[in-house]
Amino acid sequence: MGTVVDDAASEEFHAFFERHYAELSRLAHLLTGESDAADDLAADALLALWHRWDRVRAADHPVAYARGVVANLARTRIRSAVRERRRIALFWSHREEKTENPDVAGVVDVQGALRRLPFRKRACVVLRHAFDLSEKDTALALGVSVGTVKSQTSKGMAELQRLLGGESAPQKVHAAMARGGETGGRNR
């Protein structure tokens, strides 16, 4: 990793840190619009610089290099936030439908069975059956391949059928999840 630990390099880095930390933090704030994240991004950038300090201090423009590191970290943070927002929007984009006289007991049974599934199987089953997402949209929301969605949904439904008993489990699951919003709150 090339971390330099001699006293001269340490003093030089400390002086660089003192001179440029506020500027790098301000740059991060202006790039991301997040004041809370700006200090963290500047600190992360300076940590990365410290790990490569022997190269950075030999560069023609160490401050320009530092600004580039902050810009790259900010870009990564923004991209992650955009992906997360897209996943959330996709998940909540389908409107809830009201159902008269819901089968509360059925919903509770299905929710209990769903909680017993591992997360990925549960997520695939819920997105495919409760939100009627395509395999492709489910894969996009979960960040997995379409093949993974197919296998996890199939295995999840088989497990639910075993837990709920009977051939009609898929219909119970679909009907209960379609009415799941009518039970008066989310169970986790």
3-state secondary structure 57-68: HHCCCHHHHHHH
Listed residue (181, 182, 185, 174) closest to 125, CA to CA: 174
Q: What residues contact 70, with CB distance under 8 A and at least 6 apart? A: 24, 27, 28, 31, 41, 42, 45
Query: H-helix or E-strand containing 37?
Result: helix 35-51
CA distances from 152 to 88, 123, 139, 140 (A): 21, 9, 11, 14
Cβ 46 vs Cβ 23: under 8 Å: no
Q: State yes or no: pLDDT of 103 exceeds 80.
A: no
Average pLDDT, the chain: 78
Q: What residues contact 145, with CB distance under 8 A and at least 6 apart? A: 139
Provide mean pLDDT across the span 5-28.
Answer: 88
CA distances from 161 to 38, 41, 141, 169 (A): 49, 48, 25, 5
Q: State yes or no: pLDDT of 182 exceeds 50.
A: no
Higher pLDDT, 100 or 51: 51
pLDDT score, position 57: 83
Provide mean pLDDT across the span 7-33.
Answer: 88
Q: State yes or no: pLDDT of 27 exceeds 80.
A: yes
State how far the Cα of 24 lies from the Cα of 98, in Å rounded to an integer. Answer: 51
Cβ 73 vs Cβ 41: under 8 Å: yes
Higher pLDDT, 99 or 39: 39
Q: What are the tens digits of pLDDT across the range 110-124?
A: 777 888 888 888 888
Share of the chain above pLDDT 70, in %: 76
Cite the DSSP H helix spans in 52-145. 53-58, 62-92, 104-115, 119-125, 135-142
Higher pLDDT, 6 or 98: 6
State how far the Cα of 140 lies from the Cα of 72, in Å rounded to an integer. Answer: 24
Q: What are the tens digits of pLDDT across the range 145-163?
A: 999 999 999 998 888 888 8
pTM of the predicted structure, to 2 decimals: 0.46
